[in-house]
């Protein structure tokens, strides 16, 4: 399995920070997919929606792609969940 390194002392794979897309709200505009440069999303041509294929490539604390979405279809956890994962600061 690809290693995603550590985030403040915690293996990235243990931190549940990544976008969740509500496909029912998605209008298929592709903005999120085209915006993120980290390879988190792939495009599902059949469903005409983004697919989160690499959740642990998402930058912890980033939620920029959700601001691109005019449909409110992209959600993230609250930033407050990150506190418990800070081990070495």
**Residue ranges that bind ligand SF4, judged by CB under 6 A:** 19, 21, 26-32, 35-36, 38, 40, 50, 58-59, 62-65, 68-69, 71, 73-74
The rounded Cα 57 to chain-centroid distance in angstroms is 8
Residues 6+ apart with CB under 8 A from 63: 19, 76
Whole-number minimum distance, CB 58 to ligand SF4, in Å?
A: 3
Q: Which is nearer to ligand SF4, 13 or 68 (CB)?
A: 68
Rounded Cα–Cα distance for residues 13 and 2 (Å): 10
Give me the least distance between CB of 1 and ligand SF4, in Å please: 19
């Amino acid at each position: 399995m690809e290693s995603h390194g550590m985030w403040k002392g915690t293996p990235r794979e243990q931190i549940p920070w990544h976008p969740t897309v509500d496909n029912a709200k998605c209008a298929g505009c592709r903005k999120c997919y085209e915006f993120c440069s980290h390879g988190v999303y792939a495009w599902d041509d059949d469903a005409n929606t983004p697919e989160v294929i690499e959740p642990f490539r998402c930058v912890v604390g980033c939620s920029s792609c959700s601001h691109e979405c005019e449909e409110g279809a992209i959600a993230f956890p609250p930033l407050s969940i990150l506190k418990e994962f800070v081990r070495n600061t």
